[in-house]
């Protein structure tokens, strides 16, 4: 099966005992129309390389996830979303067409108009329908490489919902960090950020990446109850009480973790699990509260817990994860069975709310849960290339 840049957290990009097709060699740009913003490139090109080429010319990718080290093929296969989902939807909406190469040697051009059934199966199709060799994307115009951002802390979960609702019309990008250690009245407190593309401020200096790095894997996880409480307390209290405006370059603002190479090493030799779910609107408020309650009670959780409202724009893929509702994402240091049991307890809340867990960030959900979250799996199965499989797919089909 194809592998992009391996930035998925679980086993959608793994195939134990099988053969991986490393798509990173497909790294050529094919055409770019500077008048229309239509870009065609091979599927192993990184989103970061596209931004380096296009931002100086006044164009930007309409949707970017929280890291720029993702290939076009990977972005299509997981139909990735960004901080602007409420305004623009997910990645697949900006894919004009692509070529799908099947293991029998046949090639199909797929677009919303041509081979539309293959298009909707492949967007969000977890790399199982064939190899995407190239894709054509519609970029969007921007005034520059910067963001006009505003940040403030909020004291409780209800404030997050209010801030999101008030910001969605005027701000294309919104996201919140949430203190997953807070309990009681402070449950769901966090820091809310919103922003729009802007031109370079007059004070902007030429930027050089600081290039921090976790030099070694420590013998134990640096993320434990003590460090978690200390970091979260400090991060919350250092944030301004009222909205504070600041210009930020797109790289640190959209891709904060890309500034620390090998950040995953801080979890020590046992690593970590990421968990991202979405809860639809009627149940979102109570459901997120229940999730945060269960996480805080467990004493687990991460420095980087993210809350975001997805919008109503329909995703293009049969198995696309983004749908209207509230999404929560966070990491858990791997403490063995206790961690897996906690994630099973979170699944109970997600399933009861009619939500879903994101396959790109999953390494453990059961087949029963997956099939409940993604009822279109049956229809999707008919498009799977007979020579393709993945650890993820074998697991969730059990």
Residue numbers of the site for ligand FAD (CB under 6 A)? 1-8, 12-13, 23, 43, 65-67, 70-71, 73-75, 77-78, 80-82, 126-127, 131-132, 257, 360
Find the shortest distance in angstroms from Cβ 290 to ligand FAD.
Answer: 23
47 CA to centre of own chain: 13
Residue closer to ligand FAD (CB basis): 13 or 342: 13
Find the shortest distance in angstroms from Cβ 131 to ligand FAD.
Answer: 5
Residue closer to ligand FAD (CB basis): 43 or 163: 43
Find the shortest distance in angstroms from Cβ 368 to ligand FAD.
Answer: 21
Find the shortest distance in angstroms from Cβ 282 to ligand FAD.
Answer: 24
Q: What is the DSSP letter of 187?
A: T
- Nearest Cα to 253, choosing from 136, 335, 170, 171? 171
Find the shortest distance in angstroms from Cβ 207 to ligand FAD.
Answer: 20
Give the whole-angstrom CA distance, residue 197 versus residue 373. Answer: 34
The string over 118-138, giving b where at least 16 C-beta atoms fall within 10 Å of a residue's C-beta and e elsewhere, is bbbbbbbbbbbbbbbbbbbbe
Residue closer to ligand FAD (CB basis): 146 or 272: 272
Residue closer to ligand FAD (CB basis): 49 or 299: 49
Residue closer to ligand FAD (CB basis): 13 or 178: 13
Find the shortest distance in angstroms from Cβ 239 to ligand FAD.
Answer: 21
Find the shortest distance in angstroms from Cβ 71 to ligand FAD.
Answer: 3
Give the whole-angstrom CA distance, residue 31 versus residue 272. Answer: 40
- Nearest Cα to 359, choosing from 91, 110, 10, 98? 10
- Nearest Cα to 131, choosing from 46, 73, 45? 73
- Nearest Cα to 173, choosing from 202, 206, 197? 197
Residue closer to ligand FAD (CB basis): 243 or 397: 397
Give the whole-angstrom CA distance, residue 132 versus residue 107. Answer: 10
Residue 259, φ and ψ in degrees, nearest 5: -75, -10
Residue closer to ligand FAD (CB basis): 5 or 167: 5
Q: Which residues have C-beta within 8 Å of that of residue 166, sequence separation ≥ 6?
A: none
Select the residue whose beta carbon is closest to ligand FAD and give its number: 127
């Amino acid at each position: 099966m194809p592998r992009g840049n391996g930035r998925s957290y679980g086993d959608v990009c793994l195939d134990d005992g099988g053969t991986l097709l490393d798509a990173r060699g497909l790294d050529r740009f094919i055409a770019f129309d500077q008048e229309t913003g239509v870009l065609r490139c091979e599927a192993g090109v990184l989103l970061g390389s596209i931004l380096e080429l296009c931002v100086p010319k006044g164009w930007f990718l309409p949707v970017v996830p929280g890291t720029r080290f993702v290939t076009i093929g990977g972005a299509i296969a997981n139909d990735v979303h960004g901080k602007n989902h409420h305004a623009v939807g997910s990645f697949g909406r900006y894919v004009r067409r692509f070529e799908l190469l099947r293991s029998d040697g046949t090639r199909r051009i797929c677009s919303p108009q041509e081979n539309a059934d293959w298009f909707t199966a492949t967007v969000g199709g977890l790399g199982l329908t064939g190899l995407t060799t190239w894709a054509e994307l519609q970029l969007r115009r921007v005034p520059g490489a910067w963001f006009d951002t505003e940040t403030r802390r909020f004291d409780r979960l209800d404030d997050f919902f209010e801030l999101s609702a008030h910001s969605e019309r005027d701000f294309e990008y919104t996201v919140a960090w949430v203190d997953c250690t807070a309990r009681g009245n402070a449950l769901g407190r966090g820091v809310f950020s919103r922003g729009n593309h802007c031109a370079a401020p007059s004070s902007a200096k030429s930027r050089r990446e600081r290039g921090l790095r976790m030099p070694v894997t420590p013998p134990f996880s640096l993320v434990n109850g003590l460090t978690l409480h200390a970091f979260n307390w400090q991060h919350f209290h250092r944030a301004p009480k009222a909205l504070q405006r600041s210009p930020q370059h797109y790289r640190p603002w959209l891709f904060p973790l890309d500034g620390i190479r090998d950040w995953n090493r801080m979890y020590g030799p046992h690593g970590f699990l990421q968990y991202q779910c979405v809860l639809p609107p009627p149940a979102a408020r109570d459901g997120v509260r229940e999730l945060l309650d269960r996480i805080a009670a467990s004493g687990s959780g991460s420095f980087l817990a993210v809350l975001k409202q997805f919008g109503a724009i329909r995703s293009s893929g049969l198995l696309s994860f983004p749908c209207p509702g509230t999404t929560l994402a966070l990491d858990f240091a791997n403490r063995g069975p206790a961690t897996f049991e906690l994630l099973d307890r979170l699944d109970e809340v997600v399933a009861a709310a009619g939500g879903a867990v994101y396959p790109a960030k999953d390494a453990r959900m059961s087949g029963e849960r997956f099939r409940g979250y993604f009822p279109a799996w049956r229809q999707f199965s008919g498009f799977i290339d007979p020579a393709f499989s993945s650890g993820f797919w074998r697991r969730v089909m059990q």
